[in-house]
């Protein structure tokens, strides 16, 4: 039987105290996610249960029991303390999906510091703006990412420690750099876990903003109450499951469900630290006998593209619950997964700010392929009119998704940006910035975002950040960045560029600019196409009208152009 048992009954009888009771937490108690993800599971008699089965490039394997996770996180926490890192200091995790990333986050939380996970493919400028906003004290990284940090070091006087987890002694360490090897360090049996309370800050995740720099989403230790219960009721993790969350902990899914949800429910999880390849993924599922699989539409569409034939080569019969998040999961993907795996992917909707699943499909509830499902028990969600901010009653009408604030894992603010945070609330509702319809049965159907942010393969990219970076290229005079359709990634980045005199708009320049953005920001933010044009469409007041370029890419009606400069 599934953990949720019956969705409608759970909705009727819901109270977050269900989660608090299961976790043995009472209001006012100390609550430390690090302890819940390791020590508590050991105290429940599962010290020798496998917690993490890790596989890296070339099939290298590492295994950690819950006791290993407990000791290793104590060791990392103690090491950070020995450097002088204190509670509420920001400690960035800037690594591939290596065990130190998973365990490091737990260690940081144990000492009451704030974990700031960042996607390791970020280039130096993406890294800098996020570290600078948070005034990060320490960064834990691998030697392969060190060059990016060294490049921006002079601009970061607050960054006191650069901790390298795989230092090999080949080149001398520089100022502020220090080596730490989890394998060579003496395991620390006991650590004084910092007595964090419900509202103590835990994680700072950066997400893209439409008009400004990325925003630091501040979460607190009480978020566990949501993350634990949603993991149990949506992903349905049970005692003997082998769970695989394909997300990178540089993004929120990888922390909320790849670390906190996984370890706090005491499941055995596996991690594959290598890029996407259909056969490698199927092989991984077969080898580890994965039962619960949380992935993303772009990966599912890539698997569809790889064809059904290769699936027959693998025994995937262990799978029993599949879920997806991050971008619209098209109906075809749900129908396909039922055909090839005998299971439908359960779509789930949420975002960095919400900290946990808000709207979802649930084991046992009827799935309508293409729909995101219904609000999680305890979550009041609706759609509201964009002008009046009143709930929409008519069936089929499009409105803004609106959620009643107050669930445990809601962000508490944007770091140093309270004003933008306040703007996310209207008429007593939290607005995630997405549009949807609701059908007569209460199912939500995603329509699109309500801003210019680009969702490429489930990752948000700010056109503003790409445009700012483009301007730093010597040949670029002006630019406008929009999304364009893509079969697998749903959307990719496209840049319209006007160039300065003396440069030639040719393929070499296009490649040069693409590479410039890839290095500076990230491969995700790199435009997949650059169109050189003579002038950008602007309003009479000089504002670039991205809307027109966007409409052109998507073959949509251009709409009102009465304010255009060159009318």
User: Which chain residues interact with ligand PRX by CB under 6 A?
Assistant: 207, 251-253, 325-329, 347-352, 372, 432-434, 446, 449, 455, 460
CB of 375 to ligand PRX, least distance (A): 13
Q: Which residue has the tokens 């909320």?
A: 256
Q: Return d(Cα 488, Cα 502) in angstroms, integer.
A: 37
Q: How many residues does the structure list for the chain? A: 567
CB of 60 to ligand PRX, least distance (A): 28
Residue-wise DSSP of 498-526: EE-TT---SHHHHHHHHHHHHHHT-TTTS
Question: Which is nearer to ligand PRX, 206 or 263 (by Cβ)?
Answer: 206
Question: Which is nearer to ligand PRX, 39 or 434 (by Cβ)?
Answer: 434
Question: Which is nearer to ligand PRX, 94 or 206 (by Cβ)?
Answer: 206
CB of 490 to ligand PRX, least distance (A): 9
CB of 297 to ligand PRX, least distance (A): 8
CB of 427 to ligand PRX, least distance (A): 19
State phi, psi for 142 to the nearest 5 degrees.
Answer: -110, 160
Question: Which is nearer to ligand PRX, 56 or 433 (by Cβ)?
Answer: 433
How many CB atoms lie under 10 A from the CB of residue 194?
21
CB of 330 to ligand PRX, least distance (A): 10
108: tokens are 């940081």
3-state SS string for 535-563: CCCEECCCCECHHHHHHHHHCCCCCCCCC
Residues linked to residue 491 through DSSP beta bridges, in sequence order? 485
527: tokens are 């435009």
Residue-wise DSSP of 344-374: -EEEEE--TTT-S--EE--TTSPP-TT--BE
Q: Maximum distance among all alpha carbons in the chain?
A: 73
Residue-wise DSSP of 386-421: TTT-PBP-STT--EEEEE-S--TT---EETT-HHHH
- Which secondary structure element, helix H or strand E, spans residue 434, and what is its range? strand 434-438
Q: Return d(Cα 341, Cα 14) in angstroms, integer.
A: 32
Q: Return d(Cα 351, Cα 433) in angstroms, integer.
A: 10
Instruction: Note whether 178 and 164 are within 8 A (CB).
Output: yes
Question: Which is nearer to ligand PRX, 344 or 352 (by Cβ)?
Answer: 352
CB of 69 to ligand PRX, least distance (A): 24
Instruction: Note whether 443 and 436 are within 8 A (CB).
Output: no
CB of 257 to ligand PRX, least distance (A): 9
Instruction: Note whether 85 and 161 are within 8 A (CB).
Output: yes
CB of 45 to ligand PRX, least distance (A): 33
- 341: Cβ contacts below 8 Å, ≥ 6 apart: 311, 316, 319, 322
- Give the 3-state secondary structure of residue 141: strand
Question: Which is nearer to ligand PRX, 243 or 251 (by Cβ)?
Answer: 251
Question: Which is nearer to ligand PRX, 38 or 344 (by Cβ)?
Answer: 344
Residue-wise DSSP of 313-328: GS--TT--EEEEESS-
Q: Return d(Cα 524, Cα 228) in angstroms, integer.
A: 30
Question: Which is nearer to ligand PRX, 191 or 400 (by Cβ)?
Answer: 400
Question: Which is nearer to ligand PRX, 291 or 455 (by Cβ)?
Answer: 455
Rg, C-alpha atoms of the chain: 23
Question: Which is nearer to ligand PRX, 137 or 348 (by Cβ)?
Answer: 348
| Residue of 517, 527, 530, 528 lying closest to 122 (CA atoms) | 517
Instruction: Note whether 495 and 479 are within 8 A (CB).
Output: yes
208: tokens are 């893209």
Question: Which is nearer to ligand PRX, 107 or 373 (by Cβ)?
Answer: 373
Question: Which is nearer to ligand PRX, 143 or 424 (by Cβ)?
Answer: 424
CB of 347 to ligand PRX, least distance (A): 5
CB of 498 to ligand PRX, least distance (A): 30
Question: Which is nearer to ligand PRX, 150 or 424 (by Cβ)?
Answer: 424
CB of 546 to ligand PRX, least distance (A): 17
CB of 16 to ligand PRX, least distance (A): 20
């Amino acid at each position: 039987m599934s953990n949720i048992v019956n969705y409608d009954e759970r909705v009727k009888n819901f109270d977050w105290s269900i989660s608090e009771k299961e976790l043995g937490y009472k209001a006012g108690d100390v609550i430390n996610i690090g302890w819940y993800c390791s020590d508590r599971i050991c105290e429940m008699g599962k010290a020798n249960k496998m917690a993490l089965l890790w596989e890296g490039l070339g099939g290298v394997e590492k295994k950690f029991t819950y006791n290993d996770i407990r000791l290793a996180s104590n060791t990392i926490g103690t090491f950070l303390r020995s450097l002088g890192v204190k509670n509420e200091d920001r400690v960035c995790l800037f690594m591939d999906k290596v065990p130190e990333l998973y365990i490091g986050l737990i260690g940081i939380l144990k000492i009451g510091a704030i974990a700031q996970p960042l996607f390791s493919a970020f280039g130096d400028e993406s890294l800098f703006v996020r570290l600078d906003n948070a005034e990060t004290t320490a960064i834990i990284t691998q030697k392969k990412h060190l060059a990016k940090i060294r490049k921006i070091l002079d601009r970061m006087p607050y960054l006191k420690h650069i901790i390298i987890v795989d230092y090999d002694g080949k080149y001398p360490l520089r100022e502020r750099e220090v080596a730490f090897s989890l394998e060579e360090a003496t395991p620390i049996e006991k650590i004084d876990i910092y007595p964090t309370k419900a509202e103590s800050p835990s994680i700072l995740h950066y997400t893209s903003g439409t008009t400004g720099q990325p925003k630091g989403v501040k979460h607190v230790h009480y978020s566990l109450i949501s993350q634990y219960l949603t993991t149990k009721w949506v992903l349905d993790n049970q005692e003997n499951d082998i769970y695989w969350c394909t997300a990178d902990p540089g993004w929120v899914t990888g922390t909320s469900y790849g670390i906190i949800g996984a370890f706090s429910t005491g499941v055995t999880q596996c991690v594959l630290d290598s890029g996407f390849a259909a056969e490698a993924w199927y092989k991984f599922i077969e080898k580890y006998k994965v039962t619960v699989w949380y992935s993303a539409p772009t990966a599912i569409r890539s698997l569809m593209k790889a064809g059904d034939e290769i699936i027959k080569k693998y025994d995937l019969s262990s799978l029993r619950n599949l879920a997806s998040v991050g971008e619209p999961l098209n109906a075809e993907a749900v129908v396909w997964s039922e055909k090839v795996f005998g299971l439908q992917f359960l779509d789930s909707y949420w975002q960095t700010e919400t900290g946990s699943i808000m709207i979802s499909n649930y084991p046992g509830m009827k799935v309508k392929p293409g729909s995101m499902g219904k609000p999680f028990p305890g979550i009041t969600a609706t759609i509201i009119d964009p002008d009046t901010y009143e709930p929409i009653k008519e069936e089929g009408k499009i409105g803004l998704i609106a959620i009643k604030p107050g669930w445990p894992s809601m962000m508490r603010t944007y770091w140093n940006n309270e004003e933008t945070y306040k703007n996310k609330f209207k008429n007593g509702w939290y607005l995630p910035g997405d549009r949807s319809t609701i059908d007569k049965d209460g199912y939500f159907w995603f329509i699109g975002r309500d801003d210019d942010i680009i969702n490429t393969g489930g990752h948000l990219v700010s056109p503003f950040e790409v445009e700012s970076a483009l301007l730093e290229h010597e040949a670029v005079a002006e630019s406008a960045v929009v999304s364009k359709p893509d079969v697998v990634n749903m959307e990719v980045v496209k840049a319209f560029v006007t160039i300065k005199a003396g440069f030639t708009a040719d393929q070499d320049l296009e490649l040069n600019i693409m590479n410039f953005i890839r290095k500076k920001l990230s491969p995700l933010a790199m435009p997949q196409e650059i169109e050189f044009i003579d002038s950008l469409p602007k309003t009479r007041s000089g504002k670039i009208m991205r809307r027109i370029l966007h409409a052109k890419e998507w073959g949509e009606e251009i709409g009102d152009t009465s304010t255009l400069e060159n009318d």
